[in-house]
């Protein structure tokens, strides 16, 4: 026979804590078999008594020690010299706790462990001091019906999930059960406290970095002009890494850039220190393993709850990133919230996939700029080539015209100089011949005179005089012959010098001719009939021409003529 109880709604938790059970069909609480009915004296009734409350008989309680008051305010007396069963003692404690904490109390806790079973959430919570020492610890539970109501609201408001490391402000009712001991039953969570705690931690780190002048050091670094070598730090096997590599491998496959990977945990106790160590090791390895320096460091992870991201709000790790001389790119995977690492990074992206997209956009942007510069340079080169070609044609024509004029003038000059030399030579020879004749005549007259004088003199002097006359004749002949020879030599030298000057002038003129001009990179254009083409006017598109270079000729066909340069204005 079940023993039903009259339990007011406000005291149902106290009855339940003592072991009472709810009968859904009868809609009443009852005492299961095996439990002491005296524990439920405050609510005990006879099943046939129409619910009348029966108070425990005072006479039934023997004299002896008493227990603390239970739910109905009645005390329990025990015989002298005898103890009470442990179950009765603990049930008394449970009743006392239930009476003392009929309503929940707001308290701050830090989750040490969280488990979900059959919709119920079982927690291990604690309080720690500033040095991390545990000051208090307890088990807590959020029953399935309550969890279904409060957890979605908490997660929607904070973006966090109940997991180790998160701090909460909860409304909890202390409960003591003889079979399971002390625990807390949570029926409400304040999301503002959790958000405030996470933000306070970030604010503290941010302020310390700013005071040390590190906060925006990496952000001030110039973004990479292009991406070639990148170091990626990520949790191994994460979904975010898979999304990243799907696109990154495509870029690497086409030779656009190369990625080096290092792996670390991104959540849990010690995750920040592990990331920092993985970064240092990877940077040291990259320093000697590749000839090409790194362009940037990338930190990525898949999406997660806010409290999962909270492990990345670490001062030491943030300071290491700030001090890097390489730009840091983050793709932590949370679009709504950011970590301190996002705030100090050179560039922040919402997801790992967007990091690759940003890298690809930068590569494409630089490629398009290079293509535009190439096309601009090529167009300028074509314009310059066309201008140079037109100028070369004009110069060739001018050189040919000047050369022909110079050759004509030189030829006329040579002829004139040759005539002058011949005239001067003939005049010199005539003058020398006339002088020689005059001198010879004088000598001859003197000789005759001497001969006459000699004949008139003594006969003995005849021979001497005759010898002297012969001697004087020979001297006179030599005196006449020597100037004449000098005149001939001078005439010959003048003719040789004039001939050498003429030859040099002719060679110089010939050196300015078309062949030398062609050897400097110019070409001579002729029509099939052999006429020299000096301008584009009159050449219709498709006209065959012959281009003569210094080492041969080729056939060509004209295109549409380029726009002519404006005529030069002469003053």
Residue 345 is predicted with a pLDDT of 93
Pairing of strands 28-31, 64-66: unpaired
**What is the pLDDT, as a whole number, of residue 507?**
72
Average confidence (pLDDT) per 10 residues, the chain, 571 residues: 78 76 81 77 54 31 37 46 75 80 84 89 87 86 91 82 84 86 89 78 90 93 89 87 90 90 87 92 78 87 73 91 94 75 91 91 87 88 88 87 86 84 83 80 80 65 70 75 74 78 71 70 82 78 84 84 54 41
pLDDT score at 567: 54
**Inter-CA distances, 1 with 34, 43, 208, 472, Å:** 12, 17, 70, 192
| Cα(180)–Cα(32) distance, integer angstroms | 18
Buried b (16+ CB within 10 A) or exposed e, 104-137: beebebbbbebeeeeeebebbbeeeeeeeeeeee
Q: Find out whether 296 and 314 touch, Cβ atoms under 8 Å.
A: no
Please, what sign has the CA dihedral across residues 237, 242, 246, 247?
Answer: negative
Q: What is residue 455's predicted lDDT score, i.e. its pLDDT?
A: 67
The alpha-carbon radius of gyration of the chain (Å, integer) is 61
Ramachandran region, residue 507 (left: φ > 0; alpha: ψ -120 to 50; beta: rest): alpha
Query: What tokens were used for 355?
Result: 């990091």
- 372, 392, 416, 566 from 379: Cα distances, Å: 10, 20, 54, 21
**DSSP-H helix ranges across 264-351:** 271-289, 306-309, 315-323, 340-344
Burial of 369-394, coded b for 16+ CB within 10 Å and e otherwise, reads eeeeeeeeeeeeeeeeeeeeebeebe
| Beta-sheet strand order (sheet of 258-263) | 258-263, 229-234, 296-300, 328-331, 347-349
Q: How far apart are CA 393 and CA 437, in angstroms?
A: 65
The pLDDT assigned to 249 comes to: 92
User: Which pLDDT score is estimated for 58?
Assistant: 30
Alpha carbon distance 528, 540 (integer Å):
14
Distance, in Å, from the CA atom of 90 to the CA atom of 94, rounded to the nearest integer, reads: 6
Residue 513 is predicted with a pLDDT of: 64
Tell me what pLDDT residue 304 has.
67
């Amino acid at each position: 026979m079940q023993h039903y109880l009259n339990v007011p709604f406000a005291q149902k938790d106290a009855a339940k804590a003592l072991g009472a059970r709810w009968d859904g069909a009868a809609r009443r609480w009852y005492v299961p078999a095996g439990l002491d009915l005296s524990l439920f004296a405050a609510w005990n009734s006879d099943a046939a008594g129409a619910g009348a409350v029966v108070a425990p008989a005072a006479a039934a309680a023997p004299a002896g020690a008493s227990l603390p008051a239970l739910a109905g305010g009645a005390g329990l007396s025990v015989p002298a010299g005898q103890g009470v069963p442990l179950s009765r003692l603990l049930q008394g404690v449970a009743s006392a706790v239930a009476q003392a904490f009929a309503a929940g109390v707001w308290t701050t806790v830090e989750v040490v462990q969280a488990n979900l079973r059959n919709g119920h959430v079982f927690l291990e919570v604690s309080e720690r001091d500033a040095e991390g020492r545990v000051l208090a610890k307890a088990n807590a539970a959020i029953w399935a019906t309550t969890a279904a109501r409060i957890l979605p609201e908490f997660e929607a408001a904070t973006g966090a999930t109940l997991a180790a490391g998160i701090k909460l402000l909860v409304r909890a009712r202390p409960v003591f059960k003889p079979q399971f001991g002390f625990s807390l039953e949570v029926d409400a969570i304040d999301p503002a406290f959790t958000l405030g705690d996470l933000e306070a931690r970030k604010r503290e780190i941010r302020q310390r970095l700013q005071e040390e002048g590190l906060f925006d050091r990496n952000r001030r670094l110039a973004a990479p002009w292009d991406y070639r070598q990148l170091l990626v730090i990520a949790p191994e096997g994460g979904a975010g890494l898979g999304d990243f590599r799907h696109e990154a491998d495509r870029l690497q496959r086409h030779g656009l850039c190369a990625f080096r990977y290092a792996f670390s945990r991104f959540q849990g106790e010690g995750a920040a220190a592990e990331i920092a160590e993985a970064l240092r090791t990877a940077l040291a390895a990259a320093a000697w393993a590749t000839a090409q320096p790194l362009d940037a460091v990338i930190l990525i992870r898949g999406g997660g709850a806010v409290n999962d991201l909270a492990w990345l709000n670490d001062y030491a790790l943030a300071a290491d990133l700030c001090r890097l001389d390489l730009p840091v790119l983050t793709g932590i995977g949370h679009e709504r919230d950011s970590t301190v690492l996002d705030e100090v990074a050179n560039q922040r992206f919402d997801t790992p996939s967007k990091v690759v997209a940003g890298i690809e956009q930068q590569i494409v942007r630089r490629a398009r700029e290079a293509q535009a510069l190439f096309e601009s340079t090529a167009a300028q080169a074509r314009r310059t080539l066309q201008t140079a070609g037109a100028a070369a044609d004009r110069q060739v024509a001018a050189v040919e015209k000047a050369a022909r004029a110079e050759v004509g003038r030189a030829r006329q000059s040579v002829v004139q100089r040759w005539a002058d030399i011949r005239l001067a030579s003939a005049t010199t020879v005539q003058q020398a011949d006339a002088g020689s004749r005059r001198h010879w005549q004088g000598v001859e007259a003197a000789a005759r005179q001497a001969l006459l004088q000699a004949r008139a003199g003594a006969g003995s002097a005849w021979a001497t005089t005759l010898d002297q006359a012969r001697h004087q004749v020979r001297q006179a002949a030599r005196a006449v012959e020597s100037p004449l020879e000098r005149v001939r030599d001078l005439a010959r030298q003048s003719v040789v010098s004039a001939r050498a000057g003429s030859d040099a002038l002719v060679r110089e003129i010939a050196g300015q001719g078309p062949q030398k001009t062609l050897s400097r990179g110019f070409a001579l254009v002729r029509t099939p009939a052999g006429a020299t083409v000096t301008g584009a006017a009159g050449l219709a598109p498709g006209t065959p021409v012959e281009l003569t270079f210094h080492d041969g000729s080729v056939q060509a066909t004209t295109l549409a003529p380029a726009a002519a340069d404006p005529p030069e204005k002469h003053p």
